[in-house]
Amino acid sequence: MSPEYFLNRELGLLEFNRRVLAQAEDTRNPLLERLKFLCIVSSNLDEFFEVRVADLKEQIEFGAPGTSPDGLTPRQTMARISDEAHQLVERQYQVLNEVVLPQLAEQSICFLRRTQWNEAQQAWIRDYFFRELMPILTPMGLDPSHPFPRMLNKSLNFAIELEGKDAFGRNSGIAIVQAPRALPRIIRLPSEIAGHEYGFVFLSSILHAHVGELFSGMTARGCYQFRVTRNSELSLDDESTTNLRLALQGELSHRQFGDAVRLEVADNCSPGIAEFLLQQFGLEQEDLYRVNGLVNLVRMMQVPDWVDRPDLKFPAFIPGMPREIGKHDDIFSAIRRSDILLHHPFQSFNPVVEFIQQAANDPGVLAIKMTVYRTSADSTLMTSLIEAAKRGTEVTVVVELMARFDEEANINWAAKLEDAGAHVVYGVVNHKTHAKMAMVVRREDDKLRRYVHLSTGNYHQRTARFYTDFGLLTANENICADVNDLFAQLTGLGRASALRHLWQSPFTLHQKLIKAIRNETEHARAGRKARIIAKMNALLEPEIIQALYEASGAGVEIDLIVRGVCALRPGLPGVSENIHVRSIVGRFLEHSRIFYFYNDRAEDLYLASADWMFRNFFRRIEACFPLLDPKLKRRVIKEGLQPYLKDNLNTWEMLPDGNYRLKHTRAAAFSAQHYLMEVYGQGSDTGSA
445-490 pLDDT, tens per residue? 989 999 999 999 999 999 999 999 999 999 999 999 999 999 999 9
Residue 378: is it exposed, middle or buried by C-beta count within 10 angstroms (0-12/13-18/19+)?
exposed
- What is the maximum alpha-carbon separation in the chain? 89
Q: Where are the domains of the chain?
A: 3-312, 323-496, 504-680
Q: Are strands 260-266 and 288-291 parallel, antiparallel or unpaired?
A: parallel
| pLDDT at 491 exceeding the cut of 70 | yes
CATH 3.40.228.10 given to domain 323-496:
no
Alpha helices in 340-494 (DSSP H): 350-361, 380-390, 407-419, 477-491
Q: Which of 431, 434, 453, 580 is catalytic?
A: 434
**Element (DSSP H or E) covering residue 396:** strand 394-399
Name the pLDDT band for 688 (thresholds 50, 70, 90). Answer: very low
| pLDDT at 243 exceeding the cut of 70 | no
Position 496 scores a pLDDT of 79
Classify domain 3-312 at the CATH topology level.
Answer: polyphosphate kinase like (3.30.1840)
What is the phi/psi pair of residue 3, to 5°?
-55, -25
pLDDT in tens, 319-352: 999 888 876 678 999 999 999 999 999 999 999 9
Ranked by mean pLDDT, the top range of 81-90, 315-324, 487-496 is: 81-90
Find out whether 509 and 496 touch, Cβ atoms under 8 Å.
no
Find out whether 642 and 633 touch, Cβ atoms under 8 Å.
no
Q: What three-state secondary structure class fits 244?
A: helix
Whole-angstrom distance, CA of residue 74 vs CA of residue 55: 9
pLDDT in tens, 101-116: 999 999 999 999 999 9
Name the pLDDT band for 251 (thresholds 50, 70, 90). Answer: low
In DSSP terms, 260 is beta-bridged to 230
Higher pLDDT, 329 or 198: 198
What DSSP letter does each residue of 480-517 carry, written as one string?
A: HHHHHHHHHHHHS-SPPPPPSS-EEETTTHHHHHHHHH
Position 248 scores a pLDDT of 62
- Strand order across the 198-202 sheet: 109-111, 198-202, 186-189
- The answer to whether 460 is a known catalytic residue is no
pLDDT in tens, 409-427: 898 999 999 999 999 998 8
In DSSP terms, 200 is beta-bridged to 111, 188
Position 687 scores a pLDDT of 47
| pLDDT at 689 exceeding the cut of 50 | no
Name the pLDDT band for 253 (thresholds 50, 70, 90). Answer: low
Q: Which amino acid is at 234?
A: L
Sign of the alpha-carbon torsion through 569, 570, 571, 573? positive
Name the pLDDT band for 574 (thresholds 50, 70, 90). Answer: very high
| pLDDT at 684 exceeding the cut of 70 | no
Cα angle, residue 385 at apex, residues 383 and 387 outer, rounded to 5°: 70
Position 169 scores a pLDDT of 65
> What is 504-680's CATH number, 3.60.21.10, 3.30.870.10, 3.30.420.40, 3.30.365.10?
3.30.870.10
Find out whether 10 and 81 touch, Cβ atoms under 8 Å.
yes
| pLDDT at 547 exceeding the cut of 80 | yes
323-496 and 504-680 share one fold: yes
Position 427 scores a pLDDT of 81
Whole-angstrom distance, CA of residue 423 vs CA of residue 386: 11
**Element (DSSP H or E) covering residue 43:** helix 31-47
Q: How many CB atoms lie within 10 A of CB 668?
A: 6
Reference 550, options 528, 527, 581, 519; nearest CA is 519
| pLDDT at 675 exceeding the cut of 50 | yes
Whole-angstrom distance, CA of residue 157 vs CA of residue 390: 46
Sign of the alpha-carbon torsion through 686, 535, 376, 47? negative
Residue 488: is it exposed, middle or buried by C-beta count within 10 angstroms (0-12/13-18/19+)?
middle
Whole-angstrom distance, CA of residue 585 vs CA of residue 223: 39
Task: Give, rounded to a whole angstrom, the gap between the first and last alpha carbons of the chain.
Answer: 42
Q: Which amino acid is at 363?
A: P
Q: What is the mean pLDDT of the chain?
A: 93
Whole-angstrom distance, CA of residue 549 vs CA of residue 545: 6
The three-state (H, E, C) secondary structure of 149-211, written as one string = CCCCCCCCEEEEEEECCCCCCCCCCEEEEECCCCCCCEEEECHHHHCCCEEEEEHHHHHHHHH
Reference 185, options 157, 221, 148, 211; nearest CA is 157
Check residue 602 and report its DSSP letter.
T
**Dihedral class, residue 393 (left if φ above 0, else alpha if ψ from -120 to 50, else beta):** beta
Position 665 scores a pLDDT of 80
pLDDT in tens, 5-35: 999 999 999 999 999 999 999 999 999 999 9
